[in-house]
Amino acid sequence: MRDVAIIGVGLQKWGELWEKSFRNLFVEAALNALGETKVDKIDHMYIGCMSGGLFVGQEHIGSIMADYLGQRYLGATRVESACASGGAALRAGFIDVASGMSDIVLVGGVEKMTDVSGDGATYALATAADQEYEVYNGATFPGLYALMARAYMEKFGATRDQLSAVPVKNHDNGLLNPNAQYQMKISVNEVNNSVMVADPLRILDCSPITDGAAALILCPLEMAKKLSDKPAIKILGSAMATDTIALHDRRDFTSLDAVKVSSMAALKMAGKNVHDINVTEVHDCFSIAEIIVSESLGFFACGKGAEAAANGETRIDGKFPINPSGGLKSKGHPVGATGVAQAIEITYQLRGEAGKRQVKNAKVGMTQNMGGSGGSSVVHVMEVA
């Protein structure tokens, strides 16, 4: 198996991008990624997209994106694993290059979520849950994560202020990210008193509806210096795992077994442990998600993640920096693009190009991208080559 490197990355400022179409979002990010390289030929494309059909009425994503990128006759594959679609696309591209099937692979992710009503977006996102046992009975993702939050608070004694520390930290980081959707400072008090969505989760605990795309270029590590002047970022480990799609079938509402399994496998492949990780991007679709993920990855013991967040341990200058990009909460969450954008943030961090949000001495990074309420998880481990 060949070593694989990221040699170019690209995205745009995320948000409610009314003036940009679904296809143009992807092409813009792809061209930005290609612009960091000397690549003149792509062998294959993998595109993370959760639900182009429900959001913009467009399926057959591989064909349309290759066409509008000017890459007719190119092999292109749409990858779907709910909100983990971007991470799954990166894994598919990694395997393609590592196996020797392709030399140059463009990995992208895209979602245009604001062209439908709020109800329409809720319906589209709910397709990632169990339709017969959860959605039919009225469960939404805020409701499912609220159950996880309530169980966590009851089991471990976590407080509302500790939960609020997560979005406060991520908005502080997002202020330093020019591509973030919401560049605004918030306080614990503002989170605590924002509109209730599903008790105990409030609106400022929830990631937003977002338009956006992200793209990166993969090649064999041995070809990296010839194809880009940027430092090559070597993908050391890649793993994916699933769990029951329905929350009620889980072993424990306060842990995420798919995250545990995928992270252990990725770290083993990389020859690393959690204490080797200097910076991490995780799937904070809701405040409680970042807390439970941080424990399931092994950064903190069970029941200690909320306390760690409140104590500043996950801040940029903390012991385990998490989501320096601002995370899904501040940066935004165009579901198909999120996993790719996580890898882009780690690339910036490892290159030393993250500006005011740069984590000191960032040598090894990790991404964790999750589908649904934890029904799937993809983890990648990377370092500067």
Tokens of 306: 């909320």
> Of these residues, 49, 83, 206, 285, which one is catalytic?
83
Is residue 327 classed as helix, strand or coil in its secondary structure?
helix
Note the residue count of the chain: 385
Strand partners, 286: 206
The CA angle 67-71-72, to the nearest 5 degrees, is 65
Number of helical H runs and strand E runs in the chain: 14, 11
Let me know: does 144 contact 137? Beta carbons within 8 Å: no
The answer to whether the beta carbons of residues 350 and 9 sit under 8 Å apart is no
10 Å Cβ neighbour count for 205?
Answer: 29
Distance between CA 69 and CA 56 in Å, rounded?
19
Q: What gap in Å lies between CA 348 and CA 363, rounded to an integer? A: 11
Q: Is 285 a catalytic residue?
A: no
Q: Beta strands of 271-340 (E only): which ranges? A: 279-281
In the residue annotation, 83 being an active-site residue is answered as yes
Strand partners, 341: none
SS3 (DSSP) at 49 = coil
Active-site position among 44, 171, 333, 380: 333
Give the angle 373-83-265 at the CA atoms, nearest 5°. Answer: 75
The residues that are catalytic are 83, 333
